[in-house]
Structure 1
Amino acid sequence: MDKAAKQTRTHARTAAILSIIPGLGQFYNKQIFKGIAFLVIAFLYITGFWNLFNMGFWGLFTLGTEVPRDNSIFLLAEGLIAVLILGIGLMFYWLNINDAYKNGEKIDNGLQPTKFSTGIKETFAKDYPYLLISPGLLLLIFTVIFPILFSFALAFTNYDLYHTAPAHLANWVGFNTFKQIFTVDIWRSTFFDVLGWTVIWTIVASTLSVAIGIFMAIVVHQKDLKFKRLWRTILV
């Protein structure tokens, strides 16, 4: 890329750099209302979740330091929620920088940046499906993804009957629990028994369901079968 081409993106790059503080890039692009919106949202986000981040990440790393004040399980859950909220915030932060850069490119190309009202209309026109599913996506994050992350993280602690609140705290033990599955006799025996029955059940259930389904489909497809529509309605 030659020198002239690089210079044409000066405004876009400056706007993106200024957007390190949300809203400043939009102000630089003379998008006052959008800049105010980004700045206010960022301010509300930081002030609203500051205590969650402070306590959440401390609890996530330490799992508590004092009994009976601290509950390791609650601290772990709070820490994971803080991680999810931080992820959502980082997406907003990227949107802020990307918006400033894209509109800065328009200015570099001699065009006018998108007006705030026009941007809202374009968002509803182009991204309307995403706006509709966003509440469901947020619900999915906290009802499906969060429990999975919590169970996964809990597996790397020594949480058990002897490490529960309020008398005791849990600690991070890494892969030690997984090692004990194979080194402790009773754990190893129980694990492989459960694993074996799980594999058998999965294979048998899947095989039978597929086999029976194919068999019934073949039967219903027979030309000489009476009441074919009725059977199809019942089975389907």
Structure 2
Amino acid sequence: MGQYRKKATILSIMSMGLGQIYNRQMIKGLVFLLIEAYAIVYFNSNLVRALWGIVSLGDAPRMKVDGKYVAGDHSIFILIQSLITLLFLIVFVIIYVMNIRDARKIALKREQGEHANSFLQSIRYILDYKFAQAFLTLPAMGILFFTVMPIIFMVMLAFTNYSAPNHIPPAKLVDWVGFDTFRDLVSLKTWSHTFYGVLTWTLIWAVLSTVTTYFGGLLVALLINQKGIKFKGLWRTILIIPYAIPQLISLLVMRNMFNGQFGPVNQYIQYFGLDGLPWLTDPFWAKVTVIVVNMWVGIPVSMILIMGVLTTIPRDMYEAAEVDGATNYQKFRIVTMPMILFSTAPILITQFAGNINNFNAIFLLTSGNPVVGDYQYAGATDLLVTWLYKLTLDQNKYNMASAVGIVIFLILASFSIYNYRRTKSFKEEDMIQ
């Protein structure tokens, strides 16, 4: 290692900016020094408390002394503040490493006989050659503190006992309990029965809702695309109306239409002398109802997607199949369906993942009901995500809701990554790269 690089590296390790000052980049060095000075002041007053807080989550609950409440430690606030401080520490460490690498890079140029860039030249170089990386810094910081941090916070809550009625701050403290929450979720009968029941229905719902809307949209798109069909634009317009209407309105209207007492669906059935069905009050019929209504809302989306793919299939492929004597079914099986699946397989996987978390379709239509007597705060049509909502906002079982959220993430991540990597579109893109 050259003398310039050795000295610049040692100085940069001793303090941010010293390596730049040694390399005669005064303004850049002063900027790094100011960053370090601010970091020292910030971490001097926050880092020790953050480390204490992340371990203990507080040790003094709110107490009543002489008829007055004395403020204590709020475990959740302490956890959030500790997380923020530790994330700032990670950012500072990254900047510190960048400072060392920058000093070594400039020192190498000096060894090669080149002059170090001035501050203005460094700015110009960033704008000309590193603009994308520099511009992405702010969004990256936003993602770190507004997306990554809440996820980490949720994961950490799953390892605490943060739940009503005994561990809600500030009256009570929250403690770390390790994997007890997950153990209760899968083995404690009162919780495990609900968890396995809701998980089973969530997977059934995701499969049925995805398959019905996808192949329903495929069927409608193929029918409209037939040569003998007239007024194709009119048919497209009519069939897209359910998608054009806000989903909130459609689901609330459907909820009233399938009402067992005054809903028009049962009135039509009774008009023909038949008994009405308990569409929303019987567990089986409620599940049938949400799947049927989801088809009404979801088929137009698949129809638009597949019709766009159909227009991109070269006519030459069909003509070649006709020359070979292929029937209409054979042309569909050999040409049409493979092309559609090639283009839509990633979106099909996305739709499946979206249906696992399809909060609106369930909550607005049935609110997760009808109630199941031996379920913990869940109904017959509740998905994991709607159950999580009830556990959080209705029951204040935050630790159990966080554990359910982690389970949802594991299911979606493993399924999506595994199946996406098996699609032809991913394999061909990987081969091109």
TM-score by length of 1: 0.86
Distance 1:91 1:231, change over 3 A: farther
Distance 1:202 1:10, change over 3 A: farther
1:138 and 2:141 correspond: yes
- The alignment's C-alpha RMSD in Å is 2.2
- Which of 210-219 and 139-148 deviates more? 210-219
Amino acid in structure 2 at the alignment position of 1:172: W
Q: Deviations over 1:1-42 (max 9, x none)?
A: xxxxx4xx3322331221121001111212111111110122
| Number of the residue aligned with 1:79 | 82
Contact 1:182 1:188 in 2 (8 A): yes
Q: Per-residue deviation at 1:87?
A: 1.9
Partner of 1:19, secondary structure, is helix
| Number of the residue aligned with 1:40 | 34
| Number of the residue aligned with 2:168 | 164
- Which of 222-231 and 42-51 deviates more? 222-231
Partner of 2:152, secondary structure, is helix
Q: Per-residue deviation at 1:50?
A: 3.8
Structure 1 stretches lacking a partner, 5+ long: 1-5
Distance in 1 (CA, whole Å) between partners of 2:236 and 2:12 is 61
Contact 1:64 1:70 in 2 (8 A): yes
How many residues get paired? 229
1:12 and 2:15 correspond: no
Distance in 2 (CA, whole Å) between partners of 1:52 and 1:230 is 65
Among candidates 169, 178, 182, match of residue 182 of structure 2: 178
Amino acid in structure 1 at the alignment position of 2:36: A
Amino acid in structure 2 at the alignment position of 1:14: K
Distance 1:188 1:25, change over 3 A: same
Amino acid in structure 2 at the alignment position of 1:195: L
Q: Per-residue deviation at 1:120?
A: 0.7
Distance in 2 (CA, whole Å) between partners of 1:152 and 1:114 is 45
Contact 2:75 2:170 in 1 (8 A): no
Amino acid in structure 1 at the alignment position of 2:3: T
Among candidates 200, 208, 211, match of residue 196 of structure 1: 200
Q: Deviations over 1:72-117 (max 9, x none)?
A: 1111111111222222212211211111011011112221122211
Q: Per-residue deviation at 1:231?
A: 5.7
Among candidates 93, 97, 112, match of residue 94 of structure 1: 97
Whichever of the two has the greater Rg, that structure is 2
Distance in 2 (CA, whole Å) between partners of 1:95 and 1:114 is 17
1:70 and 2:63 correspond: no
Distance in 2 (CA, whole Å) between partners of 1:91 and 1:70 is 32
Distance 1:215 1:102, change over 3 A: farther
Structure 2 stretches lacking a partner, 5+ long: 63-71, 241-303, 306-433
Distance in 2 (CA, whole Å) between partners of 1:40 and 1:58 is 27
Amino acid in structure 2 at the alignment position of 1:48: Y
- Which of 200-209 and 22-31 deviates more? 200-209
Contact 1:15 1:26 in 2 (8 A): yes
Q: Deviations over 1:143-175 (max 9, x none)?
A: 221211111000011111111212221111111
Contact 1:60 1:78 in 2 (8 A): no
